[in-house]
């Protein structure tokens, strides 16, 4: 039987978030609604999840000694990785010692870098993927580009939100792309993946929930990325019944292989009825922020529920919806969202402001959500609201 006692008692439950961004913030809120004590960890102070957590810890999660020390001090019932930049071998060790890692330590280990998950998907499970090669130095990199062919996409094996990603469109781009990848990796310079271009009609995220009740799927989330970073998402993405079935079959195979309970963001390319595996995250996905307005239980609520060993008997879709990321560019320690009365003047519009403390370069600082009678109308509404937003940097 699943039980949750009063917070800060011997019967209470404690969750430790490794990563405290905007996605972690929503997970923290959902866990607290279930009476769970939340410890939010990140490499910098005042990260979004720390605003709502019971306790905040600032340390380098790539430091295996610091990671182990903090976990052993807190002794959480649930360790919840929310970013890729974690010393995952420590999580594997701790799981063997009896700690509970979401969804599993092996899932966190494999998906922390693109090499582990790509080899699992393509070489072990036989899923269709784009052509790819890995490279550890510049010589190998040039050979990989020539093998895969131009144009191609280059990514550090450890990165997220498009950091370090670039497209090689000609021979003159090769050296520049190598440097971008080396500067943008989560754990610093290192190994990269070179991926061949895929001819696709659209991309989707198949949000897949593993719980004690079995595996469930949200309606497919369509999205647009710019330089590997999400800008727009909507739900549902229109697709054929055959393509949707294939997407769910692929999602089932990869999530069964990873195991554990929680939500997985399975990224797929779709061409007609054909579906190609791209990536998977064993946690809520940024494109899935649209579920905060489109479903009775958001991806964050589903994640929290599954983590706690509770069933997900139904995911109730509420209607066509869209999200528009608010990405701020500049250099500032103080950001102000302005003209909000106009942003929110239309019915069916909501906004989340993440409250991140600064921006240096570009950073996602909020999201606008909208519902309407169709996906197209919801997307247009979200864009209208976005265009009314003024962002002031001080």
Tell me whether residue 279 is one of the annotated catalytic residues: yes
Q: Which of 251, 249, 393, 246 is nearest to 331 (CA)?
A: 393
| Residue of 88, 211, 216, 287 marked catalytic | 287
Q: Is 323 a catalytic residue?
A: no
**Helix/strand/coil (H, E, C) string of 225-269?**
EECCEEEEEEECCCCCHHHHHHHHHHHHHHHHHHCCCEEEEEEEE
Of the residues 20, 160, 161, 177, only one is catalytic, namely: 160
Q: Which is the catalytic residue, given 219, 279, 299, 372?
A: 279
By CB atoms closer than 10 A (0-12, 13-18, 19+), residue 3 is exposed
The reply to whether 267 belongs to the active site is: yes
For residue 364, indicate whether it is catalytic: yes
DSSP code of residue 375: H
Q: Active site includes 22?
A: no
Q: Of 210, 363, 364, 379, which residue is the catalytic one? A: 364
Dist. CA 87–CA 288, nearest whole Å:
26
From the list 26, 84, 286, 372, the catalytic residue is 286
Can you list the alpha helix ranges (DSSP code H) found in the chain?
22-33, 64-74, 88-96, 105-112, 114-118, 138-148, 174-184, 241-258, 291-294, 299-307, 340-343, 375-388
Catalytic residue among 12, 116, 162, 228: 162
Q: Exactly one of 84, 173, 267, 299 is catalytic; which is it?
A: 267
Residue 305 annotated in active site: no
78 contacts 100 by C-beta, under 8 angstroms: yes
Residue 165's closest CA among 183, 147, 146? 183
Helices (H) and strands (E) in the chain, counts: 12, 19
Tell me whether residue 160 is one of the annotated catalytic residues: yes
Residues annotated as catalytic (active site), given as ranges: 160, 162, 267, 279, 286-287, 364
């Amino acid at each position: 039987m699943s039980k949750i006692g009063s917070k800060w008692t011997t019967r209470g439950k404690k969750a430790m978030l490794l990563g405290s961004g905007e996605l972690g913030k929503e997970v923290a809120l959902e866990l607290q609604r279930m009476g769970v004590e939340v410890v939010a960890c990140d490499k910098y102070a005042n990260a979004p999840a720390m605003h709502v957590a019971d306790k905040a810890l600032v340390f380098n999660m790539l430091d295996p000694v610091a990671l182990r020390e903090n976990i052993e001090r807190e002794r959480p019932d649930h360790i919840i990785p929310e970013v890729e930049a974690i010393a995952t071998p420590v999580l594997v060790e701790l799981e063997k010692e009896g700690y509970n890692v979401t969804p599993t330590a092996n899932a966190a280990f494999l998906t922390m870098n693109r090499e582990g998950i790509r080899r699992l998907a393509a070489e072990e499970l036989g899923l269709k993927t784009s052509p790819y090669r890995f490279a550890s130095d510049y010589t190998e990199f040039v050979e990989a580009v020539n093998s895969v062919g131009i144009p191609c996409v280059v990514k550090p094996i450890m990165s997220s939100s498009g950091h370090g990603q670039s497209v090689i469109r000609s021979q003159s781009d090769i050296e520049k792309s190598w440097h971008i990848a080396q500067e943008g990796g989560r754990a610093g310079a290192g190994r990269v993946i070179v991926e061949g271009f895929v001819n696709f009609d659209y991309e989707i995220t198949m949000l897949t929930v593993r719980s004690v009740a079995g595996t469930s799927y949200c309606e497919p989330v369509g999205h647009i990325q710019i330089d590997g970073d999400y800008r727009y998402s909507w739900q549902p993405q229109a697709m054929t019944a055959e393509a949707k079935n294939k997407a769910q079959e692929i999602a089932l195979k990869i999530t069964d292989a990873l195991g554990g309970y929680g939500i997985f963001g399975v990224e797929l390319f779709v061409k007609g009825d054909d579906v190609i595996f791209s990536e998977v995250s064993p946690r809520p996905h940024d494109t899935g922020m649209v579920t905060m307005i489109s479903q009775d239980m958001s991806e964050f609520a589903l994640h929290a529920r599954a983590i706690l060993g509770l069933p997900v008997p139904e995911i109730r879709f509420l209607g066509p919806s869209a999200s528009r990321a608010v990405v701020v560019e500049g250099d500032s320690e103080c950001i102000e969202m302005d003209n909000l009365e106009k942003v929110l003047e239309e019915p069916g519009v909501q906004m989340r402001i993440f409250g991140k403390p600064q921006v240096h370069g570009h950073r996602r600082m909020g999201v606008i959500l909208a519902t309407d009678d169709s996906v197209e109308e919801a997307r247009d509404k979200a864009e209208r609201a976005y265009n009314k937003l003024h962002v002031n940097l001080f």
